[in-house]
Amino acid sequence: MPNAFPFSLSPFDCLDPDERRQVRGSVDIAYFPQQAVILEPGATPSHLFVIVKGYVQQMDEGEVVATLGPDDCFDGRSLVAGRVSSRFVAAQEVVAYQLARQTVIELIASNATFGALLFADLGHKLSVLAERQQPRELPSLSLSRVGEAFLRPVHSVDAATDILSVVRLMREQRTSSVVVLDAVGGRKGIFSRTLLQQAILDGRPLQTMPVGDWARYPLIEIRSTELLGDAMATMLRHRIHRLVVEEGGQMLGVLEALDLLSYLSNQSHIVTLQIEQARDLDILASAAGQITKVIALLFRSGSRVELIARLVQQLNARLFERAWQIIAPADLVANSCLFVMGSEGRGEQLLKTDQDNGLILRDGYEPPADLPAICERFSAALGVFGYPPCPGGIMLSNPAWRRTAQDFAATLREWVWQPGGDSLMHLAIFMDAHAVAGDAALLAQVSDSLHQLATDNDALLGRFAAAIDAFEAHAGWLSKLFSLGETPPPLHLKKAGLFPLVHGVRSLALAHQVPATSTAARVQALVGLGALSPGEGEDLAEALHVFMALKLKAGLAEQEQARPVSGTVVVQQLSSLDRDLLKDALGVVKRFQQLLRTRFHLGAL
């Protein structure tokens, strides 16, 4: 057997030297002429095939479900099952390595990673990959737990303790904060040096003021087993610089932002501080320019893509909020709700995309006469930050997307009861709305009215869900990952996979009145309601993350080459592992679309 066997390909790249020698001793070369049937349903498989030259079509019930090309292997699952379930036909002359079944079974028994990558489902593959990468990664947000970081001792005082005594305790213990226990109110809070400054400025003697009157409630806690990335996201969300770590009702220590930062060695907290302290748009523009660098650093250090997306959502929210506070009068900020939509609203945006935002004004509030100019300035500022204008005009500078709460609710009714033109698209976009500044209750008020309108409206739900097939030109993408001997166009990840997955989940969320805005949270809620099985939910969440990771990896590469981010991947240029994960993710979407067609009776529309 030649020594040219492609051990660099997945799953063979996880084999040790002895296992590689085992492969070399039992592999051979096979040749199949065009139209030859390589595997027949019901047959007992004898080999695992790795294509060297040519293309093989996998067929189920007469339909081509996949086209396999050079460096692809098949059919590991039938080897384990002992029975072939699909027909595999040579679409061209095929030259392939064939590895004896007994050797494959032995490798699976000795190497769990090999077995998982060969035939496991998508979720199991990703879990194995995470474990496989762990020894090679630096401490990252995706792997490190709160309990692994440096925790400062917890010092607690009764709420009735006077502030002067608390200050003495803080000096003696060299701490910048204490936990305040309010036995009367049955609550816990925190008192820090920042709050001490406010108490001093009050002017009253410190020995006469109970610390409980100045503490911040409630105490924000996190479990020691939570990921450090989740701790960072919590700090960003609550605008705090410390968390009390607890486990089993016991306070274990205090996690300070600076300690977390030094542990993770990334710049996200620095960017947050820069945003919070900005006094003009130029400084904000500088901070905005650092966000992509943070994303690239986290991704390349091994952080999970869903965690990166949550951090990006928090950073962008702070950026947009601070820009709005600088541009808009305080009275306008207090009597309105600035919200974002689309992938930004769902917390699934990674690299910067078009603006999708709007403004809800409080009913009865008289906005400034120059409101249009204020909104124009805000949209222009986001453009400077790297977020281009929305081609469809879905942003504050468009009067249609700045209305009172009452007007927005009326507009939603029109979209629901008189769907036409762009109404259903606008309805879908609004479902992802997430408040970033002002009074979030205004958005909640309008969003609640939407779910009430859609209840038991099967006609609306059917028309809404039908958009999963909006990109019909990409139908059959799973069988076209390889064109026979030709170079196919790049695969548009949003059209081929992300949109039908995200919108399908959004449709089920509308049907079941799920208020969550992120796709992952919607999936979790739908599983809880029984609308999706646990297996279906896990597959959808993992497929979403595969698409997001591939899109981010391709986008970062395009940016490094000074090319615009296209949202596409060239399948032939993917690693064998990424190509395998992509196929699995696209297969999940295909099955999900069929479930949705049945659920919403789309064939009858």
The pLDDT tens digits of the residues spanning 473-482 come to 555 555 555 4
Cβ atoms 307, 225 nearer than 8 A: no
d(CA 52, CA 94): 8
Query: Which residues are 371's β-sheet partners?
Result: none
Domain layout of the chain by residue ranges: 12-119, 146-264, 268-454, 462-604
pLDDT tens digit string along 497-516? 999 999 999 999 999 989 99
Band (69; pLDDT cuts 50, 70, 90): confident
Helix, coil or strand: residue 243: strand
Confidence at 331, pLDDT banded by 50, 70, 90: very high
Query: Which strand (E) or helix (H) includes residue 568?
Result: strand 568-569
Asked if 428 and 464 touch (Cβ cutoff 8 Å), the reply is yes
Instruction: Please give the radius of gyration of the chain, using alpha carbons only, rounded to the nearest integer.
Output: 28
Contact 91, 55 (CB under 8 A): yes
**360 closest CA partner among 402, 331, 407, 320:** 402
What residue has token string 């006609």? Answer: 459
CB atoms within 10 A of CB 277: 10
Which residues, in sequence order, are CB contacts of 233 under 8 Å at separation 6+? Answer: 307, 310, 311, 314
Burial of 157 (0-12, 13-18, 19+ CB in 10 A): buried
Name the pLDDT band for 134 (thresholds 50, 70, 90).
Answer: very low
Distance of CA 162 to the CA centre of its chain: 46
- Going by their DSSP bridges, the two strands 187-192 and 63-68 should be labelled as unpaired
Spatial CA neighbour of 540 closest among 490, 488, 484, 596:
596
Residues 6+ apart with CB under 8 A from 229: 141, 142, 303, 304, 307, 310, 311
Q: How many helices (H) and strands (E) does the chain have?
A: 24, 20
Termini Cα distance of the chain: 57
- At 139 the pLDDT is 45
> Higher-confidence residue: 419 or 312?
312
Q: What is the C-alpha to C-alpha distance for residues 296 and 83, in angstroms, rounded to an integer? A: 44
pLDDT at site 531: 94
pLDDT at 103 over 50: yes
Task: Find how far residue 191's CA is from the centre of its chain.
Answer: 34
Choose between 396 and 451: higher pLDDT: 396
C-beta of residue 1 within 8 angstroms of C-beta of residue 27: yes
Q: What is the DSSP string of 334-383?
A: HTEEEEE-HHHHHT---S-----EEEEEPTT----TTHHHHHHHHHHHHH
Q: Which of 62-71, 173-182, 251-260, 546-555 has the lowest mean pLDDT?
A: 62-71
Q: Which CATH class is domain 146-264?
A: alpha beta
Task: Classify residue 466 as exposed, middle or buried by CB count within 10 Å of its CB (0-12, 13-18, 19+).
Answer: middle
* pLDDT for the residue 110: 85
What distances in angstroms separate CA 463 from CA 44, 471, 507, 531, one per listed residue? 45, 15, 10, 19
Residues 146-194 have pLDDT tens digits of: 887 778 889 999 999 999 999 999 998 888 899 999 988 889 999 998 8
Q: Name beta bridge partners: 256.
A: 242
**In this predicted structure, which of 133-147, 236-250, 283-297 has the lowest mean pLDDT?**
133-147
On whether the CB atoms of residues 471 and 496 are closer than 8 A, the answer is yes
Overall average pLDDT of the 267-294 stretch: 81
* pLDDT (0 to 100) of residue 119: 64
Average pLDDT over every residue of 123-143: 51
| pLDDT value of position 275 | 85
pLDDT at 456: 65
Share of the chain above pLDDT 70, in %: 89
Q: Which two tokens stand for residue 512?
A: 């079941």
CA distance 165 to 282: 44
For domain 268-454, which CATH number applies: 3.40.50.880, 3.30.460.10, 3.30.360.10, 1.20.1180.10?
3.30.460.10
Tell how far CA 118 is from the center of its chain: 26
Please report the pLDDT score of residue 215 as a whole number.
Answer: 94
Contact call for residues 101 and 118 (beta carbons, < 8 A): no
Q: Is the pLDDT of residue 569 over 70?
A: yes
Pairing of β 221-223 and β 47-53: unpaired
Give the pLDDT confidence score for residue 476 in this predicted structure: 54
Q: Is the pLDDT of residue 133 over 60?
A: no
Structure tokens at 366: 């008289």
pLDDT at 57: 87
**Res. 604 pLDDT band, cuts 50 70 90:** low
Hey, which bits of 379-516 come out as E strands?
Answer: 402-404, 434-438, 491-492
Tally of residues, the chain: 605
Tell me the C-alpha distance between 238 and 542, whole Å.
28
pLDDT number for residue 121: 57
The pLDDT tens digits of the residues spanning 201-225 come to 888 999 999 999 999 999 999 999 8
Query: In the CATH scheme, what is the code of domain 12-119?
Result: 2.60.120.10
**pLDDT of the residue at 125:** 56
- Mean pLDDT for the chain overall: 85
Residue predicted with more confidence, 348 or 571: 348
| Out of 153-157, 184-188, 294-298, 544-548, least confident range | 294-298
pLDDT recorded at residue 135? 38
**CATH level 2 (architecture), domain 462-604:** Up-down Bundle (1.20)
The answer to whether 196 and 211 are in contact (CB under 8 A) is no
